[in-house]
Amino acid sequence: MLLAFIGLLIVLEVAVALSAHAILHQNYDSGGNRILLGSLKTISVAYAAPEPLRSKVVPMALKLLRRRARPITYYSVYSGGRFVEGLPEIRPPSGNEPHIDVRSIFGARLPHMSEYVDAEDGVDVLVPAYIRPGTFRGVPARIGTEVRRAPGFAEPVVVQIAIEESVLMQGEKESIGYIVIVFGLTLLTGVLAYWQATKWAIRPFVDLQAQLESRAASADFRFNPLTAAPQEAATFIFAFNALLGELKESAVAVSRFTSEASHQMRTPLAVLRTHLDLVRRYGVASNFGQEGLHDMDGAIGTLERLLLQLISLARAEEMSGPAEFREPFDLVSAASAAAADRFEQARGHKVELSFEGTYDNAPLMAVGQPFLARELVGNLIDNAIRYNTAGGSVVVRVERQGGACRLAVIDDGPGIPAESRELVFDRFYRLPRDTERNGSGLGLPIVRALAERMSATLVLEDGPNGRGLAVVVDFAAAEPGSAEASRLKDVAA
């Protein structure tokens, strides 16, 4: 990460440095040309003065330029091929050299005479000032040239001035050096700042690691809040502690579930073991043997039902969430099929089981899952039959109730006291009066888990006239335009 940051910083600084260099080069290049042209015109105007004034003005102009101009310029004056003054090695151009037109510096919109402050100074100019590349004393240089008529000279006067490129761009080189220094300091400062910021940012997590290493593994482990921790670390600590709390609750629930399940299974297993000993001792044909076989059959049935309910409860609680179990289904079909499965059980307990659906049993489209809904109804009917009395009745009713699809399983048995209606949803909980009955205390917990998976609401109410129990489950109604709702309506039609 640090290397990536350094690389990004280098790329950014190189881009800035290249942009700065381009701007500096343009400014120094333009500035050098201006200095060269300014010096050239100063000498040219001085030669336009008549004698004896020219002999006084030219030295003064040269002295002024050498004192104020940077870099110091070198010049020459020729007239008709004859050297007049300055440095003879700066010879007049042949006319074929490439050159930079002065208009590219001062603007093409200005005529050459207006390039002087006083327009009269440009009247005698024959070739306006321009700059051309050349060599001076064996090194690259810029040479400015202007041709004019001057008093006392029969031929035009060629005034030239030269500046070495290295001297002209000396300021640019110095500026580039400063840029490199600033670049290095900025890079070093950025790396140090990033390093310190990274150390500060990960310090809370280093402290958390130290807490982990200094404490033994335990379900009660929690991170101690760090008072100086940034918001990100505080949020992580809170979320991690909450996760540990949930894991502990899950572990406790699993431990309790295992303990309670083993306790519930211990009774039928003990019955099996006892009566198996009786059969072995007295034989199958004896009265004791026959009673033992009967009790063993009951114990196996109890154990089988307990195992099935444990599997059903575990499957319901391990489902990932309600979103996967929300699809349109026909509640009438699911409830009537579950009731049909329980008619023989009701007859064996001498309980009347009836089903009340919609008019002509038309589909009632709810949101849930048909298999889970059928299992939910089956558990409710099983409870209503098992805890009812001989001659009692159980009604399974499906109806539209406002914006919901309602399922109600109503019995006229002993019911459940209001103060115990929340307790019966605890696993293996049984009312004191029912401890002698055949059951496991898992039916209603399974029903609640299935209802939650389908986002249905579950309520326990008194039965008609305050007698018995009514279990009411409200499912969300399916949208009329859904594909499944339309298909089932077509089938019913």
For the chain, residues classed under CATH 1.10.287 are 231-316
Instruction: Return the H-helix or E-strand segment holding 233.
Output: helix 231-282
CATH number of 231-316: 1.10.287
Domain with CATH 3.30.565.10 in the chain: 324-492
DSSP string, 198-214: HHHHHHHHHHHHHHHHH
**Which pLDDT belongs to residue 268?**
66
Residue 316: the pLDDT is 61
Q: Give the CATH H-level superfamily of domain 324-492.
A: Histidine kinase-like ATPase, C-terminal domain (3.30.565.10)
Residues 6+ apart with CB under 8 A from 131: 33, 36, 37, 99, 100, 102, 142, 143, 144, 145
Both tokens assigned to 18? 């290249």
DSSP summary character for residue 223? P
pLDDT at 477: 92
Write out pLDDT tens, residues 195-213. Answer: 787 777 777 777 777 767 7
Q: What is the pLDDT of residues 352-369, one digit of tens each?
A: 999 998 877 788 999 998
pLDDT of the chain, 493 residues: tens digit per residue:
656 767 776 777 778 777 776 777 777 777 778 878 888 888 888 888 888 888 888 888 887 777 654 555 688 999 888 999 889 998 887 754 444 444 444 444 333 333 676 777 778 888 888 888 888 888 888 888 889 898 888 889 999 988 888 877 777 777 777 778 887 888 788 778 877 877 777 777 777 777 677 666 565 666 666 555 566 667 777 777 777 777 777 666 666 666 656 655 665 677 677 778 877 887 877 877 787 777 777 667 766 666 766 666 666 656 545 545 578 999 999 999 999 989 998 999 999 999 998 877 788 999 998 888 998 999 899 889 988 889 999 999 999 988 899 999 999 988 898 888 898 888 777 787 776 666 667 778 888 888 988 889 999 999 988 889 999 999 999 876 554 445 544 444 4
What is the pLDDT at residue 247? Answer: 75
Q: pTM, whole model, 2 decimals?
A: 0.46
pLDDT for 105: 41
- Helix (H, G, I), strand (E, B), or coil: what is residue 285? coil
For tokens 């969300």, name the residue. Answer: 476
What DSSP line would sit under 340-408, residue for residue? HHTHHHHHHTT-EEEEE-SGGG---EEEE-HHHHHHHHHHHHHHHHHTS-TT-EEEEEEEEETTEEEEE
Q: Is the peptide bond before 151 cis (omega within 30 degrees of 0)?
A: no
Helix (H) or strand (E) holding 174: helix 170-214
Task: Pull the structure tokens for residue 253.
Answer: 């629930």
- Judged by phi (left if over 0) then psi (alpha if -120 to 50, else beta), residue 145 lies in beta
Task: Provide CB contacts within 8 A for 20, sequence distance 6+.
Answer: 179
Residue 293's pLDDT is 79
Q: SS3 helix, strand, coil % of the chain, rounded to 5?
A: 55, 20, 25
pLDDT of 488: 46
How far apart CA 32 and CA 164 sit, in angstroms, is 10
| pLDDT given at position 102 | 43
Q: Token digits for 65?
A: 């330029």
